[in-house]
A = this chain, B = another copy of it.
Amino acid sequence: MTDGRDKNAPIGVFDSGIGGLTVAREIMRQMPDEDIVYFGDTARVPYGSKSKDTILRFSRQIVHFLRAKQVKAIVIACNTASAWALDPLEQEQDIPVLGVIKAGAFTAAQTTANGRIGVIATRGTIDSGVYEQVLRGLNPGFQIFGKACPLFVPLVEEGLTHDFITEEIARRYVKDLQYKGIDTLILGCTHYPLLRTLLRKVMGEKVALVNPAYETAIELKTLLVEKGLCHDPRSTGEGGALGTPSSYRFYVSDLAAQFQEFANSILPYDVAGTEQIDIEQYGVSH
């Protein structure tokens, strides 16, 4: 029943902190019957400026924690962790593990007309070269231009999503990408969709903005259908969307109250309780 292959088991979603809630929100919207266990690593956030080995170690601890919660699938809702940890975790785990990068890359590949694609993300994601690798795997003719934007996350967390300062910084960050003539821009960090209006203004109407959160939820849904792992309200006597509400549980490694406040501000559901756990106690076994 709860071996991780139960169709009524929850989906595990993790991120370095709050940004992954934009992915959880998309899963809630597209799959309202699914239960979710979310973990935000708020004691060790951010991931974007840390090394591959460290991010992989953190990710393995979190997967260990989520497996203890009997999840049936895991979504890495963090671009940096997807970049560094998805491949090893996919190999190590016997349940589906998805990252946000492939879904975003597929959409960008379908969207671009001139084959010139920009990626904005944290330093870690850009340095990993993972978007370039996935996109070139889809079409070796693509030209990929990456740009690290380390100030975007702190600016969003300061609430300056519509400020001229953020716009000025955005103009500096994307200037090179504009010179390169890109027609598609991947928002390669979970905070960046919150800057969409501003980025739309800076980039102009002709550049398509790709939000991997949206695409990842679609990929997850497709995968659950394929594997016969969709939540089945009938089997538990629930009434589907009109019956027992789905269960959303939130765990963090620090500052549960602050997390919950933010979660309530962006989720359409009220977050009843957020629990703080000591993630360092979870081993790296796999």
Which A residues have a C-beta under 8 Å from some C-beta of B? 42-45, 49-51, 53-54, 150-151, 154-155, 157-158, 165, 168-169, 253-255, 280
Bound together, the chains give a CA A165 to CA B167 distance in angstroms of 11
In whole Å, how far is A78's beta carbon from the nearest beta carbon of chain B?
A: 16
A51 surroundings in chain B (CB, below 8 A) = 254-255
Bound together, the chains give a CA A154 to CA B166 distance in angstroms of 13
Taking a contact as CB atoms under 8 Å apart, the answer to whether B165 and A158 are in contact is no
Q: Count this chain's copies in the assembly.
A: 2
Bound together, the chains give a CA A168 to CA B160 distance in angstroms of 13
Taking a contact as CB atoms under 8 Å apart, the answer to whether A157 and B165 are in contact is no
Q: A43-B44, A50-B43, A50-B254 are in contact. Are A157 and B150 (CB under 8 A)?
A: yes
A154 surroundings in chain B (CB, below 8 A) = 150-151, 154
A168 surroundings in chain B (CB, below 8 A) = 165
Query: Which B residue's beta carbon lies closest to that of A278?
Result: B57
Query: Which B residue's beta carbon lies closest to that of A45?
Result: B49
Interface residue from B158, B253, B280 paired with A150 (Cβ < 8 Å): B158
Task: With A45-B49, A150-B154, A165-B169 given, name 14 new contacts (CB 8 A).
Answer: A42-B50, A43-B44, A43-B54, A44-B44, A50-B254, A50-B255, A51-B254, A54-B254, A54-B255, A150-B157, A151-B154, A151-B158, A165-B165, A280-B280
A151 surroundings in chain B (CB, below 8 A) = 151, 154-155, 158
In whole Å, how far is A173's beta carbon from the nearest beta carbon of chain B?
A: 10
Query: Which B residue's beta carbon lies closest to that of A172?
Result: B165
Bound together, the chains give a CA A49 to CA B262 distance in angstroms of 14
In whole Å, how far is A162's beta carbon from the nearest beta carbon of chain B?
A: 15
A254 surroundings in chain B (CB, below 8 A) = 50-51, 53-54
Bound together, the chains give a CA A237 to CA B219 distance in angstroms of 69
Query: Which B residue's beta carbon lies closest to that of A42?
Result: B50
